[in-house]
Amino acid sequence: MKIAMILCALLAFPLSSFAEEGHEAGWNPLSAGPITTWTAPMVGKGVLVVQPIAIYTKTRGSFNDDGNYEALPSGDKKSQIQQQFFAQYGITDKWEFDAQIVFQENYITSGGSKGHDQGVGDSYIFTRYELFEETERIPEVAGLLQLKIPTGKYQHADPDKQGADLTGTGSWDPGVGILLTKKFKPFVFHADALINAPQSVGIDGVKTQYANYLNYDLAVEYFLPKGFNFMLEANGLYQGNTKQDGVKDPASDVRSLTLSPGIGWSNDCIQTLVSYQRTVSGRNTDANDSLVMTFVYTF
pLDDT tens digit string along 107-139?
999 988 999 999 999 999 999 999 999 999 999
Q: State yes or no: pLDDT of 21 exceeds 70.
A: no
Which pLDDT score, from 0 to 100, does residue 189 have? 98
Tell me the average pLDDT of the chain.
92
Specify the 3-state DSSP secondary structure of 110. Answer: strand
Q: What is the pTM of this model?
A: 0.89
Q: Which pLDDT band holds residue 25 (cuts at 50, 70, 90)?
A: low
Longest dimension (CA), the chain: 62
Give the pLDDT score at 104: 97
Please give the average per-residue pLDDT across 202-230, as a whole number.
97
Distance of CA 50 to CAs 18, 26, 34, Å?
35, 24, 15
Over residues 226-242, mean pLDDT: 97
pLDDT at 182 over 60: yes
pLDDT at residue 7 in the model: 39
Rg (CA), the chain: 20
pLDDT given for residue 27 in this prediction: 87
Neighbour-count burial of 47, counting CB atoms closer than 10 A to its CB (0-12 exposed, 13-18 middle, 19+ buried): middle
**pLDDT top residue among 4 and 83:** 83
Q: What pLDDT, in 10s, does the model give residues 141-156? A: 999 999 999 999 999 9
Torsions phi, psi for 185 (to 5 deg): -45, 125
pLDDT confidence band for 24 (50 / 70 / 90): low
Q: Are 284 and 264 in contact (CB under 8 A)?
A: no
pLDDT of residue 26: 75
Of 6-10, 25-29, 118-122, 156-160, give the range with the top mean pLDDT: 118-122
Distance CA 292, CA 72 (A): 23
Q: Torsion angle, CA of 102/104/110/114, rounded to 10 degrees?
A: 150
The string over 51-82, giving b where at least 16 C-beta atoms fall within 10 Å of a residue's C-beta and e elsewhere, is bebebebebebbbeeeeeeeebeeebebbbeb
Find the mean pLDDT for residues 93-112: 96
Distance CA 163, CA 117 (A): 9
Determine if residue 93 is left, alpha or beta; phi over 0 gives left, psi from -120 to 50 gives alpha, anything else beta.
Answer: alpha
For residue 8, the surrounding DSSP H or E stretch is helix 2-12
With the CA atoms of 137, 145, 191 and 284 taken in that order, what torsion angle do they form, in degrees rounded to the nearest 10?
Answer: 160
The percentage of the chain sitting over the pLDDT mark of 90, rounded to a whole number, equals: 88
Q: What is the pLDDT of residue 23?
A: 52
Question: Residue 12 pLDDT > 80, yes or no?
Answer: no
Asked if the model's pLDDT at residue 6 lies above 50, the reply is no
What sign has the CA pseudo-torsion 243, 246, 249, 250?
positive
Q: Which of 85, 164, 178 lies closest to 129 in space, CA to CA?
A: 178
pLDDT recorded at residue 111: 87
For residues 165-172, average pLDDT? 97
Question: Taking 70 as the threshold, does the pLDDT of residue 279 lie above it?
Answer: yes
Each residue of 29-82: pLDDT tens digit?
A: 999 999 999 999 999 999 999 999 999 999 999 999 999 999 999 999 999 999
Q: Which range among 15-19, 20-24, 28-32, 259-263 has the greatest average pLDDT?
A: 259-263
Per mean pLDDT, which range of 4-13, 120-129, 200-209 is the poorest? 4-13
Measured between alpha carbons, how far is 148 from 143 in angstroms, rounded to an integer?
A: 17
